Every structure is written in C-alpha cells, then in structure tokens.
Amino acid sequence: MQTMGDIKVTKATTSKRASVDFKNLSFGKIFTDHMLVAKYSNGSWQSPEIVPYGPISFDPSMATIHYGQSIFEGIKAYRLKTGVEAIFRPYDNFKRFNKSASRMEMPSVPEDIFIGGMKQLLQLEAAWIPEEYDHSLYIRPFMFATDEVIGVNPSTTYTFMIILSPVGPYYAAPMKIYVEEFYVRAVPGGVGFAKTSGNYAASLHPAAVAKKRGYDQILWTDAHEHKYVQECGTMNVFFVIGDKFITPGLETGTILEGVTRDSVIAVATDMGKVVEEREISVDELVDAYKAGLLTEAFGAGTAATIAKIAELRYKDFVMDFDPAQMPLADEIKSILTAIRDGIAPDPRGWMLSIQG
C-alpha cells in the first residue's frame, strides 16, 4: 500500500492492459486495473481509497437494489497531441452529479473526492488513455445507497466509486430514430434532469421495441401531448433549420443538462450561428423538412459525442438525411475534436490536466 496525494492506493499485482486491443474497442466492456471507492456514513465522507478493480459485495437488502437510489456521470479523458493527458469539462459533470444527488435525496460528494480522486485515479491509469481518433478513456463516477433495510427511506450510508473504461464510438454508424408517441421518459417535477439509473432502466423496454422495429433509438416527446421533442435515449438532440441550431430548452426539467449539449451551443455560437434553446414541436420539424429547411439532425452526448441521424420517422412520415451532407455537424465535431486533441485554442479552459 502507498499514498498518492491524499489517497491510499493498493496496487493491482498484474495489469490487464497488455491484453487489450486498443484498435477494436467497443463501448464500456473493458475496465482498467484500479477503481476509486469512498464511503459515506454518520453524515460524513470517509477518506477515499484506490484499490484493484474487482467485484464488490453487498447485502441482499441493500437499498439501491430495491428502490434505485443511484446516480452516475459520464466523462472522458483524452491524450492531447502535446502528450498531456486531460479530462473534458469534469467540473460541469461534478456540478450536475450533485444536482442529481440532491433530487435523489443523496449527500453531495465533495470536490476533493470527485475531482481530486478522479485525477489521482487517472494519474495511475494514464497508460490506458487511447490515442486513436474518436477514442478516449471513459470515466464513470457513480453513487449508490447502501443501507441494509427494505423500508422506503433515504439511505443513511452511501458508496461513491469511479471506474474507467477505454472506449471507441458509442454509435458506429448514423442512426435511425422514430418519434415516440406512447412511452414517456420524463414529466415536469419528475427526475428527467437527473442522471439517475431509473431513467435508463425505464428506457430499456421502449428502446427494445424500437430495435425490433429496426430503429437504433427513440426521440422522446413530452408526456402530456407527445407534441414537443425532448431527447434521444443516450443523448441530447439538435436540429439545423435554415441556418439556426435548435435544441430543446432546459426549463421544463425534463431533459438532461448535457455537457456536450452545452459545448455544441458554445462552439456553434463561436461559429457565428444562432442557437435557439426552446420548445420544438414535431409538427415544426415536419413542416421545416417539407420546406427543405431542416437539413441536419444529430445527437450530442459524452458517450455518443456527435451522432448523426440518418432517418427520423414520425408516424408514417419519414425524414431522410444524408449524413455526408451535414457540414455543420461535421464542423462542430471537428472543432470539439481539435480542442480535445489540444490542437485548437481552448478559450474556456475545458480541458483539465490530470496532473497537479
């Protein structure tokens, strides 16, 4: 055992890294040699530890399994062309994590554990950060309730962990999506803005129905009228109408406040484009498509990055897009990639070095 910064480290005796084919990574199947674990009880966080990656044990009555008091984040680390290893906008995920924690009646995680712990874990695992285009080391911080009781109450004990996974693109090809008109993801006053496990559990059946119908994902609509679009399964959504970018606004609390979403808005604004964050009805999309004004549609998320939509179906009406003719999505993606590669200016300080 040794101490790295403030954190106790127990090193793995062997590394799995040499057995990993970094050129053929799919999403989230391989994990690095170490993980960070911090426990909360009696109203405070105990010192985190870095330990060899491996299974964790729990009591069958553990609260999370029964009532889903569980939240997570998705962040990526990149190897810049300068050789520096850096994390993309981790403070934004840190803030969102604690917003999710508050909604789920869980304790906040302090910055020294979330950001400090992440940096120290990454320093130990830096060799796992891939170099290939569109590849990164995906960082998954998560927290779950650990009280051993099956009464429905907020837990008094929690575990926070960070695991790391070298990843390639989440969606390998442009997507086919349809507008969902029966199932619902989120309602005002609900938990749509929180990155909580139940949101993803509830999406699995509708997504499985979509797969059976030959689609990759669904585009969620509002719960009352199925009229306004919200987000896709694993990402926010953008449309280019005329020369404006349009994306659903955050005010209803029914969509995730995506860090990639915010990055797209910033980059598009820097490009001199108008970006509107507002309600968008499916009818508006259909009308704009028929008028030849809806020219690009794409998803934006940490895992998905910028994922083009090739087909968007609404009832029997199919909107086809040519992924090779989406110059604005391409430009946004190449600017974001250049910032992550360290070859374009980073005026907002989005990249946080894992050192120091």
* 104 forms part of the interface with ligand COI (CB under 6 A): no
Nearer residue to ligand COI within complex by CB, 74 or 248: 74
Distance between CA atoms of residues 202 and 192, nearest Å: 11
Q: Which of the stretches 58-66, 146-154, 295-303, 309-317 binds ligand COI when contact is defined by CB under 6 A?
A: 295-303
**Residue type (1 letter), 175:** M
**Strand ranges (E), 272-325:** 274-277, 294-301, 305-314, 317-320
Distance between CA atoms of residues 10 and 320, nearest Å: 53
Distance between CA atoms of residues 349 and 298, nearest Å: 25
Distance between CA atoms of residues 205 and 103, nearest Å: 24
Q: Could you tell me the two tokens for 237?
A: 């959504």
Distance between CA atoms of residues 202 and 197, nearest Å: 9
Smallest gap from residue 3 Cβ to ligand COI (A): 31
Nearer residue to ligand COI within complex by CB, 93 or 295: 93
DSSP-derived letter for residue 235 is B
Distance between CA atoms of residues 60 and 57, nearest Å: 10
Q: Which of the stretches 47-55, 211-219, 298-306, 318-326 binds ligand COI when contact is defined by CB under 6 A?
A: 298-306
Distance between CA atoms of residues 294 and 80, nearest Å: 35
* Residues 300-319, interacting with ligand COI (CB under 6 A): 301-303
* Residue closest to ligand COI (Cβ): 74
Q: β-strands 305-314, 317-320: how paired?
A: antiparallel
Smallest gap from residue 46 Cβ to ligand COI (A): 27
Smallest gap from residue 232 Cβ to ligand COI (A): 10
Nearer residue to ligand COI within complex by CB, 163 or 285: 163
CB 248 within 8 A of CB 277: yes
CB 104 within 8 A of CB 191: yes
Phi, then psi, of 204 in degrees rounded to 5: -70, -40
Smallest gap from residue 77 Cβ to ligand COI (A): 13
CB 278 within 8 A of CB 246: yes
CB 77 within 8 A of CB 69: no
* Residues 143-202, interacting with ligand COI (CB under 6 A): 200
Smallest gap from residue 320 Cβ to ligand COI (A): 26
Smallest gap from residue 163 Cβ to ligand COI (A): 13
Smallest gap from residue 300 Cβ to ligand COI (A): 9
Nearer residue to ligand COI within complex by CB, 215 or 289: 215
Site string for ligand COI, 42-81 (x = CB under 6 A): --------------------------------x-------
**Which residue do the tokens 């304790």 mark?**
107
Nearer residue to ligand COI within complex by CB, 183 or 200: 200
Smallest gap from residue 219 Cβ to ligand COI (A): 16
Q: Which of the stretches 54-62, 267-275, 296-304, 321-329 binds ligand COI when contact is defined by CB under 6 A?
A: 296-304
* Residues 208-237, interacting with ligand COI (CB under 6 A): 234
Distance between CA atoms of residues 49 and 46, nearest Å: 9
Q: Which of the stretches 146-154, 243-251, 299-307, 328-336 binds ligand COI when contact is defined by CB under 6 A?
A: 299-307
Give the binding site for ligand COI (CB under 6 A). 74, 200, 234, 301-303
